[in-house]
Chain A
């Protein structure tokens, strides 16, 4: 996994580079927009971490040019401004996510992981969370070497949750996404599937936690 970090603040750039390297990514650093564009043209990056306020060409402009040049990787914006308009502008221009300074390191790492995983999912049907590996094409889920037996409905719920691991999903969202294959799906039915999945996933070290009155979240197992 290759990551390009575009950040002009030396100290922050140094810290983020160390962090990304410790997470197992290959990291390049560009201190301004021009260098960033040149680097992105020559190499393939799975993720570009892009600061908004850069000397010379600013982050929004870099973003615009990257997307115009059909850059395929994910882009995570860093900004010291949190006005709603800035956020919307960044996302409109094609950023995938957005982190406001100052941020906590675990939050930054989680966003990076999520973007890398999303990027990978689009190209590969394999999902790996904790000891659970899932093939979304053949619809097989294994804990270690042991294959899980899942009904199609359970499979649907599991896939929906796993592709959003770490995110809180509401029951409404799940119903909307899943009712195409079963119109009679209800809140109660979802609760039943969740409790069955919990039992089956116990050995995989994956916890599906309930958010009271709202929905569920699959906790990413500690790394």
Chain B
């Protein structure tokens, strides 16, 4: 449990914290903010547990308190130690989920704006019997000191700049020389030939622990994917089928891409939080999930990294669209009597109408995607 949470519990001030700073949110605005949460949490009529627990009557609920939801150990423990969800504790949690209950499994970085927190609280309160009255949507907005400061700042709203200077050399002499430390901080990309790999190592077993803790919430314990989150494993021999499963094992050409991407952008909502060793371990575990390596004590490191080849590497070809018949001939297109018979409709969108707002779209999920 974090220090701030301990302090809160010790002081017994949780209820008092439900003061003006968190009150007076706007439930309608909260409904919009809640879209950030809705991928994992349901609330309202017929809400069920999804990736995260359902949130009806969350006010007054003990942390980790739903019997039919599998919480992280950290969250269950926080509840055993007395954490109850109130306006105050939910606010703290939403502002910094991993700081407030370290090692809990919610893969969400937190809501940066106090208004967003207050509005989500107001929205959630509409689904909670025990929510304090001043959290509700129709409470008059409290005047916040911050708002005053903001309007004062608006008077001189010219954006700050970082200045500019000239230097010797170059065509225009603009910019300054990047320091080695700066380049190292941002240049973390890795190529298939191993260029850019940092020192480090990690085993399949290490990777499994990290994966279960930080990745499985979206990708599933075995990389099978939860809901529409990416599937990481399996799918071999599906690439020519109607529904190809494009995973690291079935599709990705290079292992370096896994390392590079996890290191720069995962976990989703908490990027750059893994150590280089963690990333080696996770990469090893993804290899294991895809049967590219088979031993749990397999250790991936900078030294053996480029020895690993992914099965689908040879399937990638360069752009040859211009050889397709419709582009190759470049002929003048037909203008009259181009089809012998009157044209008939052979397919209609309404057969599978998944257009937003259409009758069936709540239940339907169409084919394809932007992925």
Q: Do A and B come together as binding partners?
A: no
Interface residues of A (CB under 8 A from B): none
Interface residues of B (CB under 8 A from A): none
